[in-house]
Amino acid sequence: MSTDGHQEGAAVAVERLLVPLSDTVTVRQTVGYAVQSGLEDADSLECHLVVAMPYDADVPESDRYRDDAENLLSRAQSWVEEDAGTADVTIETATIGVDEYLFGPRDYAEIFDAYAADHGIDRVVIDPEYQPGVTAQLLQPLERELERIGLTYEEAPVERPARRGRLVGETEDFDRLFATFWISYGFYLVLGDPTYWFDLLTGAAVAGIVAVSLAQVTFTVPLDRVQSPIRVVRFAIYVPYLLWEIIKANIAVSAVILRPSMPIDPSLSRVNSRVRSGLPLTALANSITLTPGTLTVRATNQELLVHSLIPDAREDLFDGGLERGIRFVFYGRAAAAIPSPRERDDAEIVGGEEL
């Protein structure tokens, strides 16, 4: 790869691209598009591949984050080399945001802007699925922030895995509107009087406003017309099981607290759960917290740091009953039959310094 391409030709002939990377299914295509489009406009290309570290990268697990980032960068570098062929392409890689505590889309937009200013970037190419470590989908707010800052960006026109095209995107929006509307209408009517015309009318108006303004933030994951209702039903089956677990744990904890000697045995353990980030992990972490005796202190990606008060509660956690329940809710009965965290070696007791 030539490094001095931009000094030979006219200054305009060098295109400097910034490509923020995250580990998604479309990252390969994004890199490919960036190289191709960059070489169309200019003779030589300077391709800056960066990974932005998310806000929670400074926790002890950060080594893994850093390894993942390095890994991704080296893969991306080889992709660029592969796509560039004989063309004049310079590659720069960087990990940014390590000391910045990135949290919201604004932080990301600002750090990209700062990087662009430092390196004279002409254009930013963004992966449509871009999602740096955090659970919420970031693309739309990020684009808004980039526009606000005035940084030129472009969304790579990748082919997403099936059912995610433009057209389907509209039915997806419709699904969100539809679901939000009926949920808020139902809630309104429960509080009001479903037989009184005034409540029906005002409820419809309010639900309409709520649906239009909030549908996009209510569901971060696209709804599935078949799966989503089934999940609601399975969740209704899960609730009695959760209640039973809560009652058992309550009695155990009460017995310990009321005994004058109070034989508690607090410990911290780390559990690698086998549920996806986002709603399933939230549901699992909340179920664990709701059960007295276990308390989720931290939830990063799939790793839960759990404080347990008594050995019995820790044993229950390692047996993974709640995890199976959550897997049943989100993935179905077949997925629920997995080995417990203890059997898979995914659970360990850690010291206080892990916090």
- Per CB under 8 A, does 105 bind other proteins? no
- Write out the binding residues for other proteins, residues 55-94 only, by CB under 8 A: 55
150: left (phi over 0), alpha (psi -120 to 50) or beta: left
Closer residue to other proteins, CB minimum distance, 40 or 197: 197
DSSP 53-86: PPGGGGSTTHHHHHHHHHHHHHHHHHHHHHHHTT
- Per CB under 8 A, does 114 bind other proteins? no
- Per CB under 8 A, does 268 bind other proteins? yes
- Per CB under 8 A, does 229 bind other proteins? no
Q: For residue 129, what is the DSSP state?
A: T
- Per CB under 8 A, does 217 bind other proteins? no
Closer residue to other proteins, CB minimum distance, 17 or 285: 285
Query: Total binding residues for other proteins by CB under 8 A?
Result: 51
- Write out the binding residues for other proteins, residues 331-350 only, by CB under 8 A: 342, 345, 347-350
From the CB of 298, what's the least distance to other proteins, in Å? 6
Cα separation of 177 and 5, whole Å?
A: 51
- Per CB under 8 A, does 309 bind other proteins? yes
Cβ neighbors of 182 (< 8 A, separation 6 or more) are: 207
- Answer whether 116's CB lies under 8 Å from 10's CB: no
Q: For strands 347-350 and 294-300, give the pairing.
A: unpaired
Closer residue to other proteins, CB minimum distance, 87 or 252: 252
- Answer whether 9's CB lies under 8 Å from 44's CB: yes
Residue where the block lists tokens 């305009």: 12
Tokens read off for 87: 């063309």
Closer residue to other proteins, CB minimum distance, 150 or 352: 352
Q: Which residues bind other proteins (CB under 8 A)?
A: 55, 101, 103-104, 190-191, 246-247, 250, 253-254, 257-258, 262, 264-269, 285-287, 289-299, 307, 309, 311, 314-315, 318, 342, 345, 347-355
